[in-house]
Amino acid sequence: MAEEPLLSGLVVVDMSQFLSGPYCSLRLSDLGARVIKIERPDGGDLSRRLYLSDTEIGGDSTIFHAINRGKESLAIDLKDEADLATLRGLIAKADVVIQNFRPGVAKRLGVDWEAMRAINPRLVYASISGYGDEGPWVKRPGQDLLAQARSGVMWLNGDESQGPVPFGLAIGDMFAGAAAAQGILAALVRRGISGKGAHIETSLLEALVDFQFEVLTTFLNDGRRLPKRAHVRSAHAYLSAPYGVYPARDGFLAVAMTPIPKLAPLLGLEAELGVYAGDPKTWFTARDQIKAIIAEKIATRTVDEWLAILEPADIWCARVLNWHELLANPGFTALDMLQTVTREDDVSIETTRSPIRVDGVRHKVDRAAPRVGEHSAAIRAEFTL
């Protein structure tokens, strides 16, 4: 008989929308928690209409389905006092609350940490903002691209000549959600010992700063010199040649940390790279020159031809895969990371699974994201709201 998921029986009230808060509650749901999503009756979470493509399923965007699978939906009109009283009544019986309102909104609605702690001392309450609750950015929109812009992270991507390059993912939202989930789980451990709740706070900016801890630490202790990306095939501002991604005849080859004297003969570049082989400092100072030489050579053969030479010599390298190639690769299929979730109205969507395995088992969620207010009546009856 399969054991219950780790967070089975835990009730999470998720008042957030878009990505950061819902990503946090997704992680908790994937570990077995019951997530009750609070949505406006007239349209619900705004991400239901935030399209990454022209594909919609059951009237909602694919991104909404991806991040809200397995959750329940309770429709609450935050401008209606009776509905707010219902929400407070639910929070009084919950274990965890997540919110990503702009600073001050939760207090105005009477669902802030202080008010909710007064009615539920064991509550673990998580707040996610754009930039914290102090300072000149507090009232600025807490949106991922804008947080990336303010965090410095864009200057780590792309080649030196490209200017700032944003990540192609909402990394601020995702990392803030993950940080909130970590804090929530730690607070639940303490609650199990002391019975005391906690207020967990993080923001997109704080999560993005933490994401850069490795390179920021170098900057802070290196005379505060800004990092300089390579002009050629840049992949990491602080790593030397050959670290980068190189075009081959039929695709792209990623090459990680490798001593130039070991790589040069395998590429047939003893003469061209010999001048740099003796002094590792030149792998930094002449990074662009070395990469340009390597790039020209790698372009002469296919990826598989290079892998046949480099992998047996224990060179750290890999073919750069697109999603078609990833899904077809046995290295991916062995992980069993995809699942199909469904709903009673014939909604069916293929999506990812939890990245966490517990005792060798990856928790599976069968149900698709909910319709707006789909579970309102059942939740109100169950919790006597």
Domains in the chain: ranges and CATH = 11-211+338-382 (3.40.50.10540), 244-328 (3.30.1540.10)
pLDDT in tens, 170-213: 999 999 999 999 999 999 999 999 999 999 999 999 999 999 99
Burial of 125: CB neighbours in 10 Å, binned 0-12, 13-18, 19+: buried
| Alpha-carbon distances, residue 266 vs 235, 261, 273, 277, 315 (angstroms) | 22, 9, 11, 13, 10
**Could you please report the per-residue DSSP string of 241-263?**
TT-EEEE-SSSEEEE-S--HHHH
Q: What is the pLDDT of residue 287?
A: 97
Task: Say yes or no to pLDDT of 53 above 90.
Answer: no
| Upper half-sphere CA count for residue 42 (Cβ side, 13 Å) | 4
Q: How many CB atoms lie within 10 A of CB 87?
A: 24
Please check whether residue 13 is in contact with residue 38, taking contact to mean a CB–CB distance below 8 angstroms. Answer: yes
Burial of 166: CB neighbours in 10 Å, binned 0-12, 13-18, 19+: middle
Cα(first)–Cα(last) distance of the chain, in Å? 35
Residue 160 DSSP class: G
pLDDT in tens, 216-258: 999 999 999 999 999 999 999 999 999 999 999 999 999 999 9
Tokens of residue 27, six digits:
């992680």
* Of the candidates 309, 318, 212, the residue with the CA atom closest to the CA atom of residue 266: 309
Task: Say yes or no to pLDDT of 215 above 70.
Answer: yes
**Separation of alpha carbons 76 and 91, rounded Å:** 13
Task: Say yes or no to pLDDT of 268 above 90.
Answer: yes
Q: What is the pLDDT of residue 2?
A: 61
Which residue, chain included where needed, has tokens 């908790």?
28
Task: Say yes or no to pLDDT of 1 above 70.
Answer: no
pLDDT in tens, 303-346: 999 999 999 999 999 999 999 999 999 999 999 999 999 999 99
* Of the candidates 20, 23, 33, the residue with the CA atom closest to the CA atom of residue 185: 33
Task: Say yes or no to pLDDT of 280 above 90.
Answer: yes
Quick one: average pLDDT of 100-123? 96
pLDDT in tens, 114-158: 999 999 999 999 999 999 999 999 999 999 999 999 999 999 999
Task: Say yes or no to pLDDT of 38 above 80.
Answer: yes
Quick one: average pLDDT of 255-264? 97
**Separation of alpha carbons 236 and 234, rounded Å:** 6
Q: What is the pLDDT of residue 56?
A: 85
For residue 261, cis peptide bond before it (omega within 30 degrees of 0): no
Mean of all residue pLDDT scores within the chain: 96
